[in-house]
Structure 1
Amino acid sequence: MKLAHLILAHNHAEQLERLVNKLAHPDADVYVHIDAKVNLRPFESLKRFEKVYFITNRVKIYWGAFNMVEATVNSLEQIISSKNKYDYINLLSGHDYPIQPATAFINYLSDNPGKAFMSALLAETHCRDLLPRVQKYYLDNYRFPMRYRAQRLLNRILPPRKMPGNMVLVGRSQWFTLSVESVDYILKFWDAHPSFRNFMKFTWGPDEFVFQTILYNSPLKDKMVNDDLRYIDWTAGGKNPKTLTMDDADKLLESKKFFARKFDMQRHPDVLEYIDKHLL
């Protein structure tokens, strides 16, 4: 069983290096996409690792914008086209951290071949906050003055948008662990359906539903598991998960998940030390 970790990162090079070290395993490689808005130099220390590769087709990423999807697609394409052959691809952020040993994760995937582990709630019934994010026009992907005024005007004069091809909208969290079969299907669908791509360019936060929606409306639907294998605490409210601290240590220990997010090594290094000692 061969695994490729894909990490999307934009800061905290020291924390990213710590994450890469914890992912190390003979059957796992690590691919890193660094936001094109930032300088690569602070991250160049990762080049000394034999099984770490940088994504070359970097994208400038803005929160909530379509370019996060572009960065993910570019990265997946590089992984799939590499000389290395994988069974699974695991998407992480630079603020994630494993809470079980690398071998346990590899063994779990070996015991569950061909699955697509991702948060995939039906928008119409279980995740209704997704609906306005596709029904309205959003211009976050376009960096021009007064774009939000133009956005309000578009939504005032144009009717609500509808999903292309009557596709069923599903999603919740962007992070996933997918079989290569699933990734290959997503990339082929992406390439063959420009109308779907263009529709998603005007949505908000599409990274949280694009990939789930493609698979849910595909012959691979039955391979989907509505579990992203991550511990994420949304109780703080707002659009970002809680930054985990030692107050969350017992919950991490009990969660039985393989990864957790998000962490801040500069402000709360003690919880990472706790994980290293008690969970890894």
Structure 2
Amino acid sequence: MKIAILILLHEYSEQQKKLVDYLSTYFDVYIHIDKKTAISVDSFFGNNIFVFKKYKVYWGSYNQILATLFLFKEANKKQYDRYVLISGADIPLKTGKEINNFFMSDSKEYFASFDLPTYWYDRIDFYYPNILSFDRATPLEKLNKKIFDKINNYIIPFVKKNKPHRSRMNIRFYAGANWMNLTNNCVNQIIVFIKNNKNFLKWFKFTRCADEIFFQTIIHNYINNVEIVNDCLRYIEWEGGSDHPKILKLEDYDKIKNSRCLFARKFDYTVDNFVIDKLYNDIRNN
């Protein structure tokens, strides 16, 4: 069973080092580093670790789609049986052997998927300028979050009022978290579809947060002979009243361990390193 782990990385600390070190023991790892960061491709060592720094990836931007698609294309050159897309804020809950065995016995496509909610159509119905995409993780954004929020709260209604509507494609749109677990059959078809339908990709250029729409919509509408399971196999808790994942802490340990998920997110070493160390100790000692 050949599994490729694809990681979208915008920061690199002890937390991400643990992630890559552990997963690369069992799987080939493909990493896309956000080009606007100072992270060096030379930070990673290993014959089965493939590192790229191609796109500046702003939160909610078109480049989120491009960076993800790039990783799928690079890994697909080696024709893996399974492609698992994670972020640098994920942690495996199962051992490498358990992850391998799970996918060896199951050929379904696992990702979160649902009909695009009415209130999400704003993401694709208007032309959004790049200023609407920003990084929550950068020091500047952390210091000026309220300012960015006020700018966005002002600009978004202005865009909707003054920018022309985009002609919506005559297809059914789907959405879901962009953390996916796809078979080779599915990824092969996605890449061929994009190659033969470049305008489909370009159509998403001035959208907002469409990385949570793009792949689900392709798979449901254009990919054949696949069985989809509405489950991304991630343990995630959502902050009350928002669509942002909660930072998991030691107090969440029992809930995390009682899940059947392969991974959990979102973790932050600067917020709670104890839960991270405890989870890694679990899988190393299993």
TM-score by length of 2: 0.85
Could you report, residue by residue, the CA deviation over 1:116-159 in whole angstroms, capped at 9, with x for unpaired residues? 21111112xxx33322212222223789xxx9788766533556
Q: In the superposition, relative to structure 1, how do residues 159 and 59 fare at CA in structure 2: closer, same or farther (>3 Å)?
A: closer
The Cα shift of 1:172 comes to 1.6
Contact 1:99 1:257 in 2 (8 A): yes
Whole-Å separation in 2 of the counterparts to 1:247 and 1:100: 19
Whole-Å separation in 1 of the counterparts to 2:166 and 2:235: 33
Query: Which of 56, 60, 67 does residue 63 from structure 2 map onto?
Result: 67
Give unpaired runs (5+ residues) of structure 2.
Answer: 134-150
Alignment of 1:104-119 (within 5 A): 104-113=98-107, 115-119=108-112
Whole-Å separation in 2 of the counterparts to 1:79 and 1:132: 32
Contact 2:93 2:262 in 1 (8 A): yes
Is 1:36 paired with 2:32? no
Give unpaired runs (5+ residues) of structure 1.
Answer: none
Q: Which residue of 1 aligns with 2:203?
A: 199
The Cα shift of 1:238 comes to 2.4
Is 1:170 paired with 2:174? yes
Instruction: Please provide the CA RMSD for this pair.
Output: 2.4
Q: In the superposition, relative to structure 1, how do residues 203 and 256 fare at CA in structure 2: closer, same or farther (>3 Å)?
A: same
Whole-Å separation in 2 of the counterparts to 1:172 and 1:130: 11
1:38 alignment partner AA: T
Q: Which residue of 2 aligns with 1:121?
A: 114
1:32 alignment partner AA: I
TM-score by length of 1: 0.86
Which stretch shifts more, 99-108 or 147-156?
Answer: 147-156
Whole-Å separation in 1 of the counterparts to 2:20 and 2:240: 28
SS in 1 for 2:55: coil
The Cα shift of 1:191 comes to 2.1
The Cα shift of 1:201 comes to 1.0
Q: In the superposition, relative to structure 1, how do residues 222 and 179 fare at CA in structure 2: closer, same or farther (>3 Å)?
A: closer
Query: Which of 67, 73, 79 does residue 77 from structure 1 map onto?
Result: 73
Moved over 6 A (4+): 147-151
Could you report, residue by residue, the CA deviation over 1:249-271 in whole angstroms, capped at 9, with x for unpaired residues? 01101111000111111321100
Whole-Å separation in 2 of the counterparts to 1:142 and 1:247: 35
Whole-Å separation in 2 of the counterparts to 1:236 and 1:18: 29
Q: In the superposition, relative to structure 1, how do residues 179 and 141 fare at CA in structure 2: closer, same or farther (>3 Å)?
A: farther
The Cα shift of 1:102 comes to 1.2
1:116 alignment partner AA: E
The alignment of Structure 1 onto Structure 2 pairs a total of residues equal to 266
SS in 2 for 1:63: coil
